[in-house]
Amino acid sequence: MLAFQRGDDSAFAALFERYRTRVLNTAYHFLGDKDTAQDVAQEVFVKLYTSPKSYRPGAAFSTWLYRITANACLDEIRKRKRSRSAASEDLPECILDPAASPEGQARSNELKREVRAAIAALPENQRLAVILQRYEGLSYQQIADVLKTSVPAVESLLFRAKHSLRARLSSYVEGEQ
């Protein structure tokens, strides 16, 4: 990013290649809508491209980028609420096991749909913490850096989020062997 700030355009291309899938999928898991996620992810990179000076060395670039992405998602949610055009709730798809029986696939699909709905129902801060931890593989400290909060606060957010997910999904997960 520092190289791009100095005017090296190829540095932006490298950043774009390295982070575009991560930015896209953070937005996708957060917003639950494919098209909106693609659009929000592009806006994140447009912002990066047009305002490179907004990044200040000191914070890790990825931390800063996740924060920009989270803010873009929150802006999008605010816009949706204002326009009262509810999202299509196009919840992220889940992988099906091709070897499973039709009944097994149906049950698996139902569980995964329910998981996505449970994530979508979490408060925004808990949802973001879960997505960064579970899908992006960030440590509690890295999540704390993105959220600009403490590790105990992240632990608290994740405790609440996972408690909610586990309670909502209890009828699915407790029946499994």
Partner 1 sequence: MDCRAARRFIPAFLDGELQPGREVPLKEHLDSCGSCRAEMVALRRTMDAMGACQDLEPAFALADIKARATERQTRRGWFSLAPRWATALGAAVAIFVGTVGGIGLQVVHQSSTQPPAVSRAVSDVLGLGTSDDPLADLMVASASEHSTIPGNNGQEGRP
Residues making contact with partner 1 (CB under 8 A): 12-13, 16-17, 20-21, 24-25, 28-29, 34, 37-38, 41-43, 45-46, 49-50, 67, 70-71, 74-75, 78-79, 82, 92-95, 111-112, 115-116, 119, 123-125, 128, 130, 133-135, 139-140, 147-149, 152-153, 155-160, 162-163, 165-166, 169-170, 172-174, 176
Buried b (16+ CB within 10 A) or exposed e, 33-67: bbebbeebbebbbeebeeebeebeeeeeebbbbbb
CB of 97 to partner 1, least distance (A): 9
Closer Cβ to partner 1, 71 or 101, answer by number:
71
DSSP-assigned states of every residue in 2-38? HHHHTT-HHHHHHHHHHHHHHHHHHHHHHH--HHHHH
Closer Cβ to partner 1, 5 or 125, answer by number:
125
Tokens 């699909």 found at: 109
CB of 2 to partner 1, least distance (A): 19
CB of 69 to partner 1, least distance (A): 10
What backbone torsions phi and psi does residue 174 show, to the nearest 5 degrees? -75, -20
Q: Measure the CA–CA gap between 63 and 70, rounded to whole angstroms.
A: 11
Closer Cβ to partner 1, 6 or 165, answer by number:
165
Sign of CA dihedral 138, 22, 18, 46: negative
CB of 80 to partner 1, least distance (A): 12
